[in-house]
Amino acid sequence: MGERFPFFQRKNKSKLYLSDRQPLTLQGKIGLVIAHLVLILWAIIIIWPLYQMVVSAFNGLQDGYLVLNRNFAFSLEHFEYLFTETLYLAWVRNTLFISISTALLTLLFVSFTGYAYSRYRFKGRKSSLMAILLIQTIPVFAGITAFFTMHSILSSVLPYFTRQMMLILIYSGGAIAANTFILKGYIDSISTELDDAAKIDGCSNMQIYRLIIMPVAKPMLMIIGLWSFIGPFMDFLMPRVLLTSPSSYTLAAGLFTLVNDFRTMNQPAFAAGGLLTAIPIVLLFISLQGQLVSGLAKGSVKG
């Protein structure tokens, strides 16, 4: 057509676009610039404290308090202090024990509750779902008296029931209630025709759960497990209240002792500990990135 109608091609060349979107007006361009400036400012606000934390952790010129200066001398003394003068390794073990236990318990129970609420119709289903939803509106800290009472009862029956185990029950209980809705919604998007086809082939309900539903729901289960694992790393309030011995602290509660008491004040070591704490979480996000993206993006029928 260009060879036969060259004039027509030149005349309409400027009106051809790769999409249906019209070119930005002056007002649209100004809005786009403002949006980019806001995003850049927000990124700076987030990145600047992280940058200062990394620099302070490796700066040998920092003493007990963080000082934002231009003098820098690379040193690992703050990390050495963290491993030799504090109970950092014990805090890491405690946090990993609580986090892994919480994630496993959450995944075990949520996989059953999400499947049951999605595929079965039973008496009290709607009322129990509503009760779970309403319970989520109550702050966890509001039940601190009940937690102490529960720990006293359970420790009297089970001598080896520690406060760390109580924390695991608190974390996993809250995660099970919240994530039941998430997994139920995800399983609802899976066609029941898969269940019917499996039943025709002779599969029981447990086989459908194990061979059909759980493999399809794996991306969402990975997300639930990841957030359940991260929760104890991020929480400070409950470990600080429930755990009384420094050797039983989690990372959040333990590192706080480096900034709240002048006798143990070492803010650069606190920065070093925060940097080390972030490393396993970042590695988990990177290793599970594919599962996370598919879990958030896929909700369609599979199989």
Residue 291, pLDDT score: 65
Q: How far apart are alpha carbons 166 and 143 in whole angstroms?
A: 13
175 within a domain of the structure (yes/no): yes
Q: Which domain holds residue 134?
A: 87-256
288 within a domain of the structure (yes/no): no
Q: How many domains does the chain have?
A: 1
301 within a domain of the structure (yes/no): no
Q: CATH number of the domain that 178 lies in?
A: 1.10.3720.10
**Nearest CA to 252 among 262, 265, 238?**
238
82 within a domain of the structure (yes/no): no
278 within a domain of the structure (yes/no): no
172 within a domain of the structure (yes/no): yes
223 within a domain of the structure (yes/no): yes
110: Cα within 13 Å, side-chain hemisphere = 31
Residue 293, pLDDT score: 63
As given in the structure block, the two tokens for residue 19 are: 């999409």
Residue 160, pLDDT score: 83
Residue 11, pLDDT score: 47
Q: How far apart are alpha carbons 83 and 176 in whole angstroms?
A: 35
- Residue reference for tokens 């896929």: 298
- Write out the chain's pLDDT in tens, 303 residues: 445 545 445 444 445 445 566 777 888 889 889 999 999 999 999 999 888 888 888 988 887 777 776 678 888 988 999 998 889 999 999 999 999 999 999 999 999 999 988 888 888 888 888 888 787 777 777 778 888 888 888 888 888 888 899 999 989 988 888 888 888 888 888 888 888 888 888 888 888 888 888 888 888 888 898 889 998 888 888 888 888 888 899 999 999 988 887 777 888 889 899 899 888 888 888 887 766 665 555 544 444
109 within a domain of the structure (yes/no): yes
**Nearest CA to 255 among 91, 93, 96?**
91
**Nearest CA to 176 among 97, 233, 116, 126?**
116
